[in-house]
């Protein structure tokens, strides 16, 4: 199976009224889709990292009027493959360091195909016992891997953004409940004001979550951070002492530019002395805890009240997959549950997947999570995380040895913040850094994005794709140095 078949190769029945319901045309179409998927994945190591065509060009490629009549499914899939080809990037490849994202591991993809084919609406555990049981077991494995209390509840959501939302909804409900206010029933109108403390270098998605929750993305107390983006304990202590109402404190495990983790033990101790709910955004950084080599970097995270993390980053599940983890399962459930007479009741001790997420109808994300953990095992996950951190240090050391290149962070986890023309005036360094990023993008050997960090433009390398090896890192460093020498 090298060249994927095209639709006209496929024997087909009528697309609208298939007879029998499941027919040879469907089988051929799914096999064709699989062949195209394999062809794409085979090509990833060789293709350019960045899409051949821009968004504007791809819009033209896809543009056509709403079709009045349907057509054969195989032809549709064929067309989709043809139209999409030039607008795909090599995110699943070994040298895509562009964002802190995973690389859709084949095992996760296979489990995800089955998830779609089985088509289980995971809104109820009685209707989809396999999905619900698999998810429950995967939830237990996650808590074990991340070394969090085994009694925590886990919601399988779309990603860390909605995991932050879900956890902060539980936080909002609980801190207000302690004052006698029922936010689930009464909303925020007339509620005692909630103080939200958050580090100055928190991820933008946490501010989105606050926005969705009526807590405001700007009505927060921002805590000063250090050069690695970590909250300063003294500033946190001072700010929380000035709060009078219910408090939610938000810390971070894994800053997107530096990989740094807030000083959790101290933050947790102070937060709890003020009866605050401590939430941690640990989209990728929480996974340090799954690797003995680097677990100490995220020490103290277990002291929080809730945690948001991703499956589609370090665990390498396909999109989309994140986890909302809450110590107080009742608070979690109160924040997310609505019941209806037509939905099956939940017996004591049973876990209904929809009780811990915002959605009712949803994808069975537990399958891909289960499959990834089953395939890699505790040791495989630890090996992968440890390898990524070692590769990040290797890249940082090699880059820093080149005149004019500076590494702006202490590389302990998987993030490297690189600055070009570091000895030059700010604006010139920004220009050169942007130019290196552009040149690298055109070259296509590897991909790294740009970001603003502490007032200056940096190139950010995120080592977090399962296939990345030392050889990939060396090849990429070489390409980056060549790009730098060319623009300097
Ligand atoms: C990626 C990331 C998020 C957002 O996660 P999504 O999965 O994109 O919703 C939040 N916080 C941090 C630190 C991240 O790295």
Per-residue model confidence as pLDDT tens digits over 435-472: 999 999 999 999 999 999 999 999 999 999 999 999 99
Give the residue-averaged pLDDT of 390-413. 97
Which residue from 121, 102, 167, 76 is spatially nearest to 369, judged by alpha carbons?
A: 102
256 lines ligand 1 (CB under 6 A): yes
Ramachandran region, residue 404 (left: φ > 0; alpha: ψ -120 to 50; beta: rest)? left
Tell whether the model's pLDDT for residue 19 goes beyond 70.
no
Closest CA to 418 of 433, 427, 407: 407
**Of 308 and 124, the one with more pLDDT:** 308
Q: For 229-275, how does the pLDDT look when each residue is reduced to its tens digit (9 = 90+)?
A: 999 999 999 999 999 999 999 999 999 999 999 999 999 999 999 99
Given this model, what pLDDT does residue 48 score? 85
- Where does the pLDDT of residue 124 fall: very low under 50, low under 70, confident under 90, or very high at 90 and above? confident
Give me ligand 1 centre to Cα 282, in Å.
8
Query: 229: domain CATH number?
Result: 3.40.640.10
Residue 410 in domain: no
pLDDT of residue 362: 93
Q: Which domain holds residue 120?
A: 112-373
Residue nearest ligand 1's atom 14 by CA: 283
Q: Answer yes or no: is 155 within a domain.
A: yes
Is 283's C-beta closer than 6 angstroms to any atom of ligand 1? yes
Could you tell which of 158, 159, 253, 413 is best to mutate to test the pocket of ligand 1, judged by most ligand atoms within 8 Å of the CB? 159
Q: Is the beta carbon of 159 within 6 A of some atom in ligand 1?
A: yes
Q: Does residue 267 lie within any of the structural domains?
A: yes
pLDDT at 339: 67
On whether residue 102 sits in a domain, the answer given is no
pLDDT, tens digit, 9 for 90 and up, residues 48-103: 889 999 999 999 999 999 999 999 999 999 999 999 999 999 999 999 999 999 99
Structural domain includes residue 219? yes
Q: How many whole angstroms from 283 Cα to the centroid of ligand 1?
A: 5
Q: Report if residue 56 sits inside a domain.
A: no
Ligand 1 close to Cβ of residue 100 (< 6 A): yes
Q: What pLDDT band is residue 1 in, cutting at 50, 70 and 90?
A: very low
Ligand 1 site, residue 310, Cβ cutoff 6 A: yes
Q: pLDDT digit string (tens) for 322-374?
A: 999 999 999 999 999 876 666 667 777 889 999 999 999 999 999 999 999 99
Computed over every residue of the chain, the mean pLDDT equals 94
Query: What are the tens digits of pLDDT across the range 24-52?
Result: 889 999 999 999 999 999 999 888 889 99
Ligand 1, from 205, 259, 280, 318: best to mutate by most atoms within 8 Å of Cβ? 205
275, part of any domain:
yes
Listing DSSP states for 111-173 in one string gives: HHHHHHHHT--TT-TTT-HHHHHHHHHHHHHHHHHTT--TT-EEEEESSHHHHHHHHHHHHHH
* Residue 368 is assigned to a structural domain of this protein: yes
Supply φ then ψ for residue 326, to 5 degrees: -135, 135
The total number of structural domains in the chain stands at 1
């Amino acid at each position: 199976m090298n060249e994927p078949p095209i639709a006209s190769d496929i024997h087909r029945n009528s697309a609208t009224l298939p007879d029998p319901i499941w027919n040879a045309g469907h089988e051929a179409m799914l096999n064709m889709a699989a062949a195209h998927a394999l062809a794409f994945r085979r090509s990833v190591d060789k293709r350019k990292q960045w899409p051949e065509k821009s968004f504007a060009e791809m819009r033209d490629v896809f543009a056509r009027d709403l079709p009045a009549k349907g057509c054969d499914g195989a032809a549709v899939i064929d067309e989709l493959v043809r139209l999409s080809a030039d607008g795909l990037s090599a995110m699943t490849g070994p040298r895509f360091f562009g964002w802190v994202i995973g690389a859709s591991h084949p095992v996760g993809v296979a489990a995800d195909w089955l998830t779609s084919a089985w088509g289980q609406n995971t809104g109820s555990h009685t209707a989809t016992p396999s999905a619900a049981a698999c998810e429950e077991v995967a939830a237990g494995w996650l808590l074990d891997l991340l070394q969090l209390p085994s009694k925590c509840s886990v919601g399988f959501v779309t990603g860390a953004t909605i995991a932050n939302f879900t956890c902060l909804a539980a936080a909002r409900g609980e801190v207000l409940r302690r004052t006698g206010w029922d936010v689930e029933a009464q909303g925020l109108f007339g509620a005692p004001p909630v103080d939200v403390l958050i580090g100055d270098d928190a991820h933008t998605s946490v501010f989105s979550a606050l926005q969705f929750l009526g807590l405001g993305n700007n009505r927060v107390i921002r805590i000063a951070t250090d050069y690695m983006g970590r909250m300063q304990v003294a500033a946190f202590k001072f700010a929380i002492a000035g709060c009078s109402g219910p408090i939610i404190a938000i810390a971070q495990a894994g800053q997107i530019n530096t990989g740094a983790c807030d000083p959790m033990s101290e933050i947790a101790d102070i937060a709890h002395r003020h009866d605050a709910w401590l939430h941690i955004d640990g989209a990728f950084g929480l996974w340090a805890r799954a690797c003995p080599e680097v677990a100490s970097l995220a020490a103290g995270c277990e002291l929080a009240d809730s945690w948001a993390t991703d499956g589609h980053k370090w665990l390498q599940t396909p999109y989309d997959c994140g986890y909302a983890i809450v110590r107080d399962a009742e608070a979690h459930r109160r924040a997310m549950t609505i019941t209806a007479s037509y939905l099956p009741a939940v017996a004591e001790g049973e876990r209904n997947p929809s009780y811990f997420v915002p959605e009712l109808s949803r994808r069975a994300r537990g399958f891909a999570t289960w499959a990834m953990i089953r395939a890699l095992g505790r040791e495989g996950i630890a090996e992968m995380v440890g390898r990524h951190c070692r590769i990040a240090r290797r890249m940082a050391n090699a880059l820093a040895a080149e005149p004019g290149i500076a590494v702006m962070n202490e590389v302990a986890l998987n993030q490297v913040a690189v600055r070009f023309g570091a000895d030059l005036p700010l604006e010139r360094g920004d220009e050169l850094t942007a130019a290196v990023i552009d040149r690298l993008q055109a070259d296509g050997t590897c991909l790294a994005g740009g970001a603003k960090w502490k007032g200056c433009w940096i190139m950010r390398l995120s080592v977090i794709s399962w296939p990345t090896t030392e050889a990939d890192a060396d090849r990429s460093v070489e390409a980056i140095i060549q790009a730098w020498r060319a623009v300097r």
